[in-house]
Chain A
């Protein structure tokens, strides 16, 4: 008669999951700009997911991380950028980020994990460049918090192993080359997406990041 026999009283945790508002799948996704869609299993950022962006300096990890804010900020979602000492604000505008909905904490002074935890309460996407060594416990705590608050956490690192816990999606920059004619015109980058949620072969994309106007487009 009952789907589950009411043999015992529910624990508070079970009650909390039961009364958590359910939302259709579409609202649990945050948009990404078109050229990056093929990299994500849902064609979008899943709320609560962690994305690690890995690339050595100069390959474009900063640009790739910041461009994840473009589609979200222009559709009214707030974003935060933590630990990027000197974000190129003009470049962000060229990438399509709506700067009115982005807060910056350039120098969290050793409290980066606390700052990220605080921002997970208030914005929809947090882009963070953690210091060189990240403790396993701190990373796990942030992951759990992001999942609980349904916020996308984007972590910028040099190498994918710098982030101690396995993320939902890892975007690795495998190749980057500048195209220059009289000035730096565009950079072609190859991105490989792997992760828990990516089933089968890794997804790949070749992008102009930035392209001649400073935005991102697919190659070809």
Chain B
């Protein structure tokens, strides 16, 4: 089970008539994402963050929880307050947040034991257990799983596993309707004036564009028409891809491109990124090839850039190189990027990899 930090803002857990709460919770979520990129909403007013990475980074769970509370509290106004807690599994972590406690690793079953059976949000099961005198999660957890299965059925077994601290997810725990609402609020807040049709609809333009794209695809073949997808990554060729129109790939959210990528090449990005690999030669004064050494430095000042042998431009200036060593845990990739400004004003982005230079981008 994943160890989770959960923050709970009671004042935001129900949407009022003004609809202010989801918007404010979206701000809270953004603030939490700034601290820890994997912050995810659970329901309105509740968000969960895997504890391992952030607590190691911020110097322990207690420090991280305190920092989280301090970050969120100013966003809630006078009336609101925030509580945070840590435990194994989402169910226990939400209860820990309600009680504002940090449950030590492995102590989750003991922590859960005194809580009321009603916290499982299974009214039928709770009523029956109350009648049997099983008022707390601890008493319920002490039943044998096989007996629970035969007496109450499969849903109760799921609750039983949660009560024992073996599992952390309960069906009603994540409120998907509220999360959809949250997405809606965020999307509505972003674009300002979207073109509308006569009756206020905005599907007309989309349908027209889709029809044109489909006609083209019939003429040119599948894959000729594409759309762009942004993903995570450090270099411009990692971060974006053109995928065929209508492919399922577009719908699937890619790697989070707003998550931080330390060492990412900063903006501005090249306006043309060759999809084919194109080898170029970077030469010094003596006509020898310039290379990037193990220390990440250039072997000599580059003075000439040749796209084909014999045909080249002078190098007016260069910036970099910026070495990048990635994926040391798997298929490792070592490369370095260099920006080259030619004497005719053309600026290009080069990549040194496998002891050759490759054209990665043109700033046009």
Contact = CB atoms under 8 A, between A and B. Distances in A.
Interface in A84-106: 84-94, 99-106
Contact of B236 (A74, A88, A107, A213): A88
Nearest to B226: A104
A180 B320 contact: no
A88 B202 contact: no
B220 A111 contact: yes
B345 A66 contact: no
Interface in B113-165: none
A76 B345 CA distance: 35
B309 to A, nearest CB: 20
A214 B267 contact: yes
B189 interface: no
B344 to A, nearest CB: 7
Given A93-B230, A118-B215, A119-B212, A78 B341 contact: no
A77 B268 contact: no
A85 to B, nearest CB: 7
A90 B269 contact: yes
Contact of A184 (B191, B205, B240, B363): B363
Contacts of B226: 103-106
B277 to A, nearest CB: 12
B219 A102 contact: no
Contact of B240 (A57, A84, A90, A183): A90
B364 A214 contact: no
Contact of B268 (A84, A89, A105, A184): A184
B317 interface: yes
Interface in A115-141: 115, 118-119, 121-124
Nearest to A114: B219
A213 B267 contact: yes
B228 A99 contact: yes
Contacts, number: 182
Nearest to A183: B319
B224 to A, nearest CB: 6
A172 interface: no
Interface string B249-270: 0000000000000000011111
A124 to B, nearest CB: 7
A122 B195 contact: no
B364 A62 contact: yes
B364 A63 contact: yes
A84 B272 contact: yes
B268 A58 contact: no
29 contacts: A57-B346, A57-B364, A58-B347, A58-B362, A58-B363, A76-B191, A76-B202, A77-B195, A85-B272, A86-B273, A86-B275, A87-B242, A88-B240, A89-B230, A90-B236, A90-B239, A93-B240, A94-B267, A94-B268, A94-B269, A103-B225, A103-B245, A104-B226, A104-B242, A105-B224, A115-B216, A122-B212, A123-B209, A180-B317
B319 A184 contact: yes
A93 B228 CA distance: 10
A26 B68 CA distance: 48
B211 A122 contact: yes
B217 to A, nearest CB: 10
Contacts of B191: 74-76
B93 to A, nearest CB: 35
Interface residues on A, range: 35 or more
B205 A78 contact: yes
B199 to A, nearest CB: 15
Interface of B: 191-196, 202, 205-206, 208-213, 215-216, 219-220, 224-230, 236, 239-242, 245, 266-275, 317, 319-320, 339, 341-342, 344-347, 361-364
Contacts of A180: 317, 319, 339, 341
Contacts of B347: 58, 178, 184, 187
Interface of A: 57-63, 66, 74-78, 84-94, 99-109, 111, 114-115, 118-119, 121-124, 176-178, 180, 182-184, 186-187, 210-214
Contacts of B202: 76
A178 B213 contact: no
Contact of A86 (B196, B206, B274): B274
Contacts of B224: 105, 107-109
Given A88-B273, A122-B209, A57 B362 contact: yes
A127 B339 CA distance: 27
A88 B269 contact: yes
Given A59-B345, A103-B225, A183 B266 contact: yes
Q: Which of B220, B271, B275, B320 has the most chain A CB atoms inside 10 A of its CB?
A: B271
A210 to B, nearest CB: 4
B221 to A, nearest CB: 9
Contact of B219 (A61, A62, A106, A118): A118
A211 B266 CA distance: 12
A123 B220 contact: no
A72 to B, nearest CB: 9
Contacts of A115: 216, 219-220
Nearest to A104: B226
A139 to B, nearest CB: 20
Contact of B364 (A58, A77, A109, A186): A58
A62 B361 CA distance: 13
